[in-house]
Structure formats: structure tokens, C-alpha cells
């Protein structure tokens, strides 16, 4: 896109042009309170954009060249997953698969304990939705009672069904669950929490200690007294404990409407839950123009300053949602202290492939959005550095940026160099800006050790992302043949190796005790019992954080980090053999001797098309970048651009390989559009797609498949942004 296509005003600098609204936002809202003068700032901004633009574009061109070489190889060779020598040698010849250098250990300083040493859930939230952003930041602490009572963790049927008022029998199930949990994480000498009738505390030689009383007046003691960390007195008594580096509160009030039903007056148990939150500028947001992007930056600024708020109403009640203050306690010796009331926030910037009308280059082409993101989000984050205030984010003096969709070590090195140049320009100490590496592209996976090496003084996070990783898996090997059905790809040989490899490499490079080794999202927000029964596998696999879709899910997933000592697991896993690179390079192809019948093919097309439409119609028409979308069976799934990438690429692959034809794809989308219309009939602002099928959103969904082999690395952003802008302009 060139400037003449944009109805925007720009401020001309030496080598670039900056959209007037961004220029005004930086000058009037961001720079005040910092020590950088406006004229000096824009000189730095101009220099960094213009100096790094060419390399950014060259790295994107290298991606395209590598992909073309892979496509050509598959046209000329038959891929044999039982004999990968020729394939691996080819990947080495084109510098896709690099030789590993010597072993090393990361050396990262000034990392907050929430990242370095605490294992717990991690929320990812669209930063342009202020309510979600606040809720996520506040999800550092969550009510276990609410998480159990309000979800399917307790059977929602018969005597324990949810009712309009408080259901005592359902409440008793909550109490029983919590009692069993307390016996595990806060064990007592010769007794159970079920026997306690009162939680209290008393002074012994000037030191507080918890007192757990039985009905006969006897007392039970903690097996480990060091678990008691403090207390708070007010209308209720709050006792603070810790287990596996996570805190939790017992809130005692026999007169409370809930506490009066509990044998010991426990009105609630509050868990430290989402220890960290990624405020996302990328896959979960729709930011297609200057107006959208400024909302992203403004919300980040107000989050950092602690001033973000949202006016809300529930029924006849109106209120304002704000960031939570810190939580105050007295330690056992009676000295006051605080714990943060909010998650430690990381901010996810856009990838190298994104471009933005916020800044134009000298030829009026759009500047790389990732460079603009880095310059602006780091500048905003400087309001947090060196200031100890109620809403401080990093107490270690660091800025945490998650960088997505990097392909291999060169791109990691490029991102680190951008951060280094910004630090120098802004007067920040070297390595103030830390980097989270998303291991979601195949070229990053197979070279993960070398990626980490490039960021060894900055890296605080590596994370597997199955959906984007699968989308790249399909697009990279588009010409190799037809892929397995989508559900089977998830069970194929490569996926376990990929997940294990990420942990193996992270531990070998010394991330234990230095940073996060993360796992992906639980995508079914209404099925908390199923999540509770299965997601313990993530800490058991050595991950000290994993993504969850809601504050409630964070509270439930926090239970897993009490059940599993991740530090101990990591020590054990560090001794196992590394996962196989051959397994990782095993392409999940449909075996040549397996023929899918027409019904199997159509069911797969239906499932993909329905999911694509359900997400795209909200993205294009309503500007919703992350939402709960009903699948073909009406189960709500969390969808973002990563889920869209895999579904569209899967359909594009089957179309390319002849399992279906273009007319069948179009017919499928038209049938599924009618289902999606029915599913959204009660959604305010929804535009029906059927029967005309001529809307921008419907055509965008179809084109994501029909043009799927042509999109760079299978990314959906360019088409989505183009169509959303068209709709907004119309």
C-alpha cells in the first residue's frame, strides 16, 4: 500500500513520515514524565526505522526464497519419512537446518521472580479490549470457591445444579474439594483440615503463628511451619501461606453468607493464579489502521501507569473496573509487607512480516510494524522503570517483549539488535529489554538452540504454540503431499517430539531458574473439568507456565502447579535423551496407501470452513480479534489468527493436492455460512452471510483458502487487514 491510497495526514521527518495522530500521542501523552525531548526522540525514531527497514525486508525475502526452494525440492523428489538423509542434507544446503554450535548457558540479569522462579498459569489477552486487559492483569489472584462453584468443576445436575440462589449442596461439594486440596498443599500433623472448626492465630514470644482448632479444643500444627507467610485483620481474618512458590489465602469469617456454611468459617480461598500475563498486540487483536493501533498503544500506556479503567454495568448496578492495588499483610513477626495485586505483564509485539500505516518510508511504502511496536512499547514501558509505585510492573527494572513468528536465528539476532539500538537511543542499560521467543515456526524449532544463543543475554521465555506451528508445518510442506486430517496431525509423530524438544533445548541452555518454558492454550473455556483433568500434563512435561483463556481458568490451572513440583520435574528431564530431530522433520502426510472416502473429506472441509467463517465474520465485520466461536458441534472454542492459519492452510493443502476442487470448497463455505448465521442469530451487530454470500467477510474467508498457497508462510494477516480496512472505509 502506498501513501496516495491513505486518507491520512503525516509529519515528514528526515527519512520517514509519521501519522499525525501517532506523532501527537507520543508528544502529548508518552514523552511527558520521561527525560527525552521530543525533537531528539523523533530523530532517534527516524534513525532506527530507516536503518533497520532494509534488513527487515531482506529477511522476509529470504523466507520467500527458502520456501520456493522447498517447494521446488518436493516437486523433484519423493519425500520418504523412513529415510530423511537426503531431505535433511537439502535443508542444510539451503541454510534451513543449521549446524549447532557448542553448548552454552543463558546469562540474563534483572529478571523478576514471576518469570525466573515461579511456575504458574499465563494469560494471553487482546490489549485493545480494556476490560479484558484489566481482568487479565487482575487475575494474579483468583477465588477458588468461585472457580469451582461457577464452572463444571462441580457437577451441574441434580442436587448440585446451579440455581438462582446459593445451593448449599453445591457449596458443600466446593468445601469438600478445597478440604482435600488443603490436605495436600498445607498438610497437618496427625489430622485433616476436615476436622478443623476454627482457623486463628496467636502470638508466641512476639511471633504470630496459625492456630488450627478442633471441636474438642485441641490444636493441629503445620508439618512445615515455614508455609505460614503472614496475615491480615479487618472484618475478616486472612491467613497467607505458600506452596511451590505460589501464595494462597484462607479468608475466615464465620458471619459471612458463605463462611457461615463452612465448618471452620472459611468464606473463600484466594489463589495466586495468573502470575504473568501477555498483553497482546498481535494475533488476538484487530488493529488495521492508525485509529486501531493508537488504542493498542494507549491501553499499554495506561496499564503501565496503572490508570486504565472501564465503566461497566451489571443489571442495575454501575461500577468502574480498575487495576487491583497491592495486597497488604503482616509477616509472622508483625512487620508489614505487600504482594503485587497484579500479574507481571509482558507485551507481545507484531512479527517481522507486518506493515503499518503509522509510518511511511521514503517511497511511501508502509514501514515494518514490528519496528514501530518496539519503539513505542519500549518508550511507554520506561514509565515503569525506576519508579516504585502502587502499580509497578517490573520490580527488577526490565521490559518484557514477546516476539512472535521469528524464523530462525538470523531473525532472533535482528530483533535483539533492534532492541539494543533502541536501548542505546533511549539511554537504557544494555539488555533492559528482555525477549520472549515464540517457538511457533518450523525453522525456529529445528534451530532452537541457535535461536536462544542469539538472545542468550535477553531471553526469558520460549513457548510452543501448536496451532501456528502446525500452520507453518502445513505451508512449509504444501507441495509434499496431502496432510492428515487435522485431528490426526495433532497425534502425529512430529508433535510430541516438537513439544519435548522445546523443553530439552530450554533446559540444556540453562533456562531453568532464569526464564519460562511455556506450553500452549487451553481452547475450550467452558470445559474447566476437562482442563483440570488434562492440563496437569503441561507442568509434568517440564513447562513452568502454560496459557489459559480466562481468569477462572488461571485459578483452576494454578492447582496443577501445587500438584506438580516443576523445578523437580525439570531436574529429572534434564537427564533424559534429547527428542529426535528426525521425528520433528517427519511431515504429517496422509499415507499414499490410505484413501479418504468422500464423506471423510467433506466432514473435514465442513469442520474447517465452519471454524474459519465463525472467526473471520467477527474479525472483519465486528473487529473482534479473539473470541469464543462455536464449532460445528456448538462447542465454544477460543479462536485467534493462529487457529485461522491452521484451518485455512489445511483446506488449501487438500485443494492443492486434489482431495477436493474449488467448487466444492465454495459450496462448503456457502453451506457452513448458513450454520454460522444461525449460531450468531442473537449476536448484536452480526451481519448475515446467507443467502447472498457477497459480503466482504464471507469472500475473505473463501479467499484465505483459495489463495492459501500464495500467502507468505500461510499467514492470514495481510488479507484480513486489507478486507477489514475496506469495510471500515465503506
- CA 27, chain centre distance (Å): 31
Rounded alpha-carbon distances, angstroms, from residue 202 to 199, 205, 239, 337:
10, 10, 12, 19
Half-sphere exposure (Cβ direction) of 548: Cα atoms closer than 13 Å: 33
Rounded alpha-carbon distances, angstroms, from residue 50 to 26, 79, 360:
19, 42, 10
Cell of 667: 459450496
Alpha carbon distance 54, 360 (integer Å):
13
Alpha carbon distance 119, 539 (integer Å):
8
How many other C-beta atoms lie within 10 A of the C-beta of residue 684? 6
356 membership: H or E segment, kind and range: strand 355-360
Bridge partners for 116 per DSSP = none
Alpha carbon distance 333, 184 (integer Å):
26
Bridge partners for 317 per DSSP = 314
* Greatest Cα pair distance in the chain: 84
**Closest by CA position to 265, among listed 337, 302, 213, 325:** 213
Half-sphere exposure (Cβ direction) of 302: Cα atoms closer than 13 Å: 20
Alpha carbon distance 597, 600 (integer Å):
5
Strands (E) in 508-652, as ranges, are 516-519, 545-548, 627-630, 636-639
- CA 674, chain centre distance (Å): 31
Cell of 86: 537426503
Alpha carbon distance 264, 96 (integer Å):
62
Query: Which region, left, alpha or beta, applies to residue 395 given φ > 0 means left and ψ of -120 to 50 means alpha?
Result: alpha
Q: 3-state SS string over 381-395?
A: HCCCCCCCCCCCCCC
Q: What's 342's DSSP letter?
A: S
Do residues 585 and 494 touch, judged by C-beta distance below 8 A? yes
Alpha carbon distance 16, 43 (integer Å):
10
Do residues 465 and 438 touch, judged by C-beta distance below 8 A? yes
Catalytic residue, candidates 373, 439, 640, 677: 640
- The reply to whether 7 belongs to the active site is no
How many other C-beta atoms lie within 10 A of the C-beta of residue 338? 11
Catalytic residue, candidates 140, 348, 724, 725: 348
Bridge partners for 249 per DSSP = 240, 270
Do residues 246 and 563 touch, judged by C-beta distance below 8 A? no
Peptide bond into 211 cis (omega under 30): no
115: helix, strand or coil: helix
Q: 3-state SS string over 220-285?
A: ECECCHHHEEEEEECCCEEEEEEECCEEEEEEECCCCCCHHHCCCCEEEEEEECCCEEEEECCCCC
Alpha carbon distance 506, 494 (integer Å):
18
Sign of CA dihedral 360, 361, 366, 372: negative
- The reply to whether 327 belongs to the active site is no
721: helix, strand or coil: helix
Number of helices (H), then strands (E), belonging to the chain: the values are 25, 26
How many other C-beta atoms lie within 10 A of the C-beta of residue 492? 18
Residues identified as active-site: 348, 640
Amino acid at each position: 500500500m502506498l501513501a496516495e491510497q491513505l486518507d491520512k495526514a503525516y509529519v515528514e521527518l528526515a527519512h520517514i513520515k509519521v501519522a499525525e495522530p501517532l506523532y501527537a500521542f507520543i508528544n502529548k501523552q508518552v514523552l511527558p514524565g520521561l527525560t527525552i525531548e521530543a525533537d531528539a526522540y523523533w530523530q532517534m525514531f527516524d534513525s532506527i526505522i530507516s536503518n533497520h527497514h532494509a534488513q527487515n525486508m531482506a529477511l522476509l525475502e529470504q523466507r520467500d526464497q527458502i520456501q520456493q526452494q522447498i517447494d521446488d525440492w518436493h516437486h523433484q523428489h519423493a519425500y520418504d519419512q523412513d529415510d530423511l538423509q537426503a531431505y535433511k542434507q537439502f535443508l542444510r544446503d539451503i541454510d534451513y537446518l543449521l549446524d549447532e554450535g557448542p553448548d552454552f548457558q543463558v546469562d540474563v540479569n534483572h529478571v523478576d521472580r514471576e518469570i525466573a522462579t515461579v511456575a504458574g498459569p499465563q494469560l494471553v489477552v487482546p490489549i485493545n479490549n480494556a476490560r479484558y486487559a484489566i481482568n487479565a492483569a487482575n487475575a494474579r489472584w483468583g477465588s477458588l470457591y468461585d472457580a469451582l462453584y461457577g464452572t463444571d468443576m462441580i457437577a451441574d445436575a441434580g442436587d448440585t445444579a446451579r440455581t438462582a440462589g446459593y445451593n448449599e449442596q453445591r457449596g458443600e461439594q466446593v468445601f469438600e474439594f478445597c478440604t482435600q486440596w488443603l490436605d495436600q498443599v498445607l498438610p497437618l500433623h496427625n489430622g485433616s483440615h476436615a476436622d478443623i472448626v476454627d482457623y486463628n492465630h496467636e502470638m508466641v514470644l512476639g511471633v504470630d503463628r496459625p492456630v488450627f482448632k478442633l471441636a474438642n479444643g485441641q490444636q493441629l500444627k503445620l508439618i512445615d511451619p515455614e508455609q505460614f507467610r503472614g496475615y491480615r485483620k479487618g472484618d475478616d481474618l486472612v491467613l497467607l501461606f505458600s506452596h511451590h512458590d505460589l501464595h494462597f489465602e484462607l479468608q475466615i469469617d464465620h458471619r459471612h453468607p458463605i463462611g457461615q456454611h463452612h465448618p471452620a468459617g472459611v468464606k473463600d480461598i484466594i489463589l495466586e493464579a495468573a502470575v504473568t500475563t501477555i498483553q497482546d498486540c498481535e494475533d488476538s487483536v484487530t488493529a488495521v489502521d492508525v485509529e486501531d493501533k493508537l488504542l493498542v498503544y494507549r491501553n499499554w500506556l495506561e496499564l503501565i501507569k496503572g490508570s486504565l479503567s472501564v465503566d461497566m454495568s451489571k443489571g442495575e448496578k454501575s461500577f468502574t473496573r480498575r487495576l487491583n492495588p497491592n495486597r497488604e499483610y503482616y509477616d509472622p513477626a508483625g512487620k508489614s509487607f505487600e504482594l503485587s495485586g497484579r500479574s507481571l505483564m509482558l507485551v507481545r509485539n507484531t512479527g517481522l512480516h507486518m506493515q503499518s500505516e503509522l509510518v511511511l518510508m521514503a517511497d511511501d511504502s508502509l514501514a515494518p510494524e514490528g519496528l514501530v511496536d518496539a519503539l513505542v512499547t519500549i518508550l511507554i514501558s520506561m514509565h515503569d522503570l525506576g519508579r516504585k509505585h502502587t502499580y509497578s510492573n517490573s520490580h527488577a527494572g526490565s521490559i518484557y517483549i514477546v516476539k512472535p513468528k521469528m524464523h530462525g536465528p538470523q531473525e532472533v539476532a535482528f530483533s535483539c539488535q533492534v532492541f539494543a539500538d533502541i536501548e542505546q537511543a533511549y539511554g537504557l542499560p544494555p539488555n533492559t529489554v528482555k525477549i520472549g521467543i515464540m517457538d511457533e515456526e518450523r525453522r525456529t524449532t529445528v534451530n532452537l538452540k541457535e535461536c536462544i544463543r542469539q538472545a542468550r543475554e535477553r531471553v526469558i521465555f520460549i513457548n510452543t504454540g501448536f496451532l501456528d506451528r502446525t500452520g507453518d508445518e502445513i505451508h512449509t510442506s504444501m507441495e509434499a503431499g496431502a496432510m492428515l486430517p487435522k485431528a490426526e496431525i495433532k497425534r502425529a509423530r512430529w508433535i510430541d517430539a516438537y513439544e519435548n524438544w522445546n523443553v530439552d533445548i530450554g533446559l540444556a541452555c540453562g533456562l531453568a531458574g532464569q526464564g519460562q518454558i511455556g506450553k500452549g492454550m487451553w481452547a475450550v473455556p467452558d470445559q474447566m473439568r476437562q482442563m483440570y483433568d488434562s492440563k496437569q500434563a503441561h507442568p509434568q512435561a517440564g513447562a513452568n507456565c502454560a496459557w489459559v483463556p480466562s481468569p477462572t481458568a488461571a485459578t483452576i490451572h494454578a492447582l496443577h502447579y501445587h500438584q506438580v513440583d516443576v523445578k523437580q520435574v525439570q531436574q529429572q528431564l534434564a537427564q533424559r535423551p534429547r527428542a529426535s530431530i528426525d521425528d520433528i522433520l517427519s511431515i504429517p502426510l496422509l499415507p499414499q496407501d490410505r484413501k479418504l472416502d468422500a464423506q471423510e473429506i467433506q466432514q473435514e472441509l465442513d469442520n474447517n470452513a465452519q471454524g474459519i467463517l465463525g472467526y473471520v465474520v467477527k474479525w472483519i465485520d465486528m473487529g473482534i480479534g479473539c473470541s469464543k466461536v462455536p464449532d460445528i458441534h456448538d462447542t465454544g472454542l477460543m479462536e485467534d489468527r493462529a487457529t485461522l492459519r491452521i484451518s485455512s492452510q489445511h483446506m488449501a493443502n487438500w485443494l492443492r493436492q486434489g482431495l477436493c476442487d474449488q467448487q466444492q470448497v465454495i459450496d462448503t463455505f456457502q453451506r457452513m455460512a448458513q450454520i454460522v448465521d444461525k449460531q450468531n442469530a442473537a449476536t448484536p451487530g452480526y451481519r448475515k452471510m446467507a443467502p447472498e454470500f457477497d459480503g466482504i467477510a464471507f469472500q475473505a474467508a473463501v479467499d484465505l483458502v483459495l489463495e492459501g498457497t500464495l500467502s507468505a508462510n500461510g499467514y492470514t494477516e495481510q488479507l484480513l487487514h486489507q478486507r477489514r480496512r475496506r469495510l471500515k472505509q465503506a
